[in-house]
Amino acid sequence: MENVVIIGAGAAGLTAAVYAARANLAPLVIEGMQPGGQLTTTTEVENFPGFPDGIDGTELMDKFKAQAERFGAKFLQYDAVQKADFSKRPFKLEMMAGDPIEAKTVIIATGATAKYLGIESEQKFMGRGVSACATCDGAFYKDVPIVVVGGGDTACEEAMFLTRFASKVTLVHRRDELRASKIMADRTVNHSKIEMAWNSTIEEILGDDTGVTGVRIKNVKTGETTDIEAKGYFSAIGHKPNTDAFKQLDMDEVGYLIADGVKTKYEGVYAAGDVSDAIYRQAVSAAGTGCAAALEAERFLEAQGE
């Protein structure tokens, strides 16, 4: 029987582990299949407080984990939750590989996975010019051309944000009009730094040892391919929250958990980080909710006399 089980080992989960461990709750962190979360897919993090010269994303998560371990947090590697039963306490977690786990409280910090097109070259240049977070990585592309793929509000927001840094932003969309809201679409199409590549799809990300050098697009009507010079490629086709195992909880139409702050509809079950955040999706905001979830879990256990 665990006092606190934290599902996920990104910024939210590991911050929750630090706080719960310092409260002598000996939390168990289920690391899942991507320990460290989305930060491990980027090479340099420049916007996390306390690191004025920036820090490698994986190194930052390693520091988070070491801090949690120092205070007594436990870690379960190479396993993930496939089903959760929150209908009664203790809560029961069915694992993909190991034995079921029972918990007095649960913090869900499984994050959200950025959607990519699935072409091989996206993975090849991940963290070396390929990104899904303009806020995280936009500042690395000052005065160079970049490409964004997508056609909804997310794509328009990313493209608009990136104009602060890039010399030119090419927005690639497979249709001849954007799916975004009219006001956002109009701003994007009429922006002096944004060039539209209508009726086009991404064929390949081009690059060399230095990273991305260009993007090959294909016109879906003519079949013609064109190589566009670019130092960065941003996928802006959305995120998928990692919530498949938590069907008992309330979610929005995309799959983000609905919480009151960090509290779900079940007492003792909390949501932290990108799993319930469709707006900010930043490491520092995830860490903040991880802290809040751990404090709520501690207070709940105290109230239960546990």
CATH superfamily, domain at 117-236: FAD/NAD(P)-binding domain (3.50.50.60)
Write down the pLDDT at residue 129. Answer: 95
For the beta carbon of residue 221, count every other beta carbon within 10 angstroms.
10
pLDDT tens column, 225-259 = 999 999 999 999 988 999 999 999 999 999 999 99
pLDDT tens column, 191-218 = 999 999 999 999 999 999 999 999 999 9
Burial class of residue 182, CB neighbours in 10 A (0-12, 13-18, 19+): exposed
Residue 72, CA distances (Å) to 25, 65, 102 in order? 8, 11, 19
Write down the pLDDT at residue 102. Answer: 98
Give the residue from 246, 249, 262 showing the smallest Cα distance to 296: 262
Is residue 125 over pLDDT 80? yes
Q: Average the pLDDT over 74-100 and give the result.
A: 96
- Helix 283-303 and helix 11-22, axial crossing angle in degrees, nearest 10: 40
Burial class of residue 305, CB neighbours in 10 A (0-12, 13-18, 19+): exposed
> How many Å apart are CA 51 and CA 54, to the nearest integer?
5
Residue that has been written with the tokens 């690191």 in this structure:
51
Q: Average the pLDDT over 21-40 and give the result.
A: 91
Give the residue from 218, 238, 284, 208 showing the smallest Cα distance to 113: 238
The residues annotated as belonging to the active site are 133, 136-137
In CATH, the architecture of 2-113+239-304 is: 3-Layer(bba) Sandwich (3.50)
Q: Average the pLDDT over 260-270 and give the result.
A: 98
Q: State the Cα angle at 295 between 291 and 296, rounded to 5°.
A: 115
> How many Å apart are CA 228 and CA 99, to the nearest integer?
51
Write down the pLDDT at residue 43. Answer: 66
Write down the pLDDT at residue 168. Answer: 97
Write down the pLDDT at residue 269. Answer: 98
pLDDT tens column, 152-198 = 988 999 999 999 999 999 999 999 999 999 999 999 999 999 999 99
CB 197 within 8 A of CB 145: no
| Three-class secondary structure of residue 53 per DSSP | coil
Write down the pLDDT at residue 154. Answer: 87
Domain ranges of the chain: 2-113+239-304, 117-236
For the beta carbon of residue 209, count every other beta carbon within 10 angstroms.
5
* Total residue count of the chain as it appears in this document: 306
Report residue 33's pLDDT band, with 50, 70 and 90 as the boundaries.
confident
The H or E element that residue 303 is part of is helix 283-303
Provide the whole-model pTM.
Answer: 0.81
Is residue 73 over pLDDT 80? yes
Q: Which residue has the higher pLDDT, 134 or 295?
A: 295
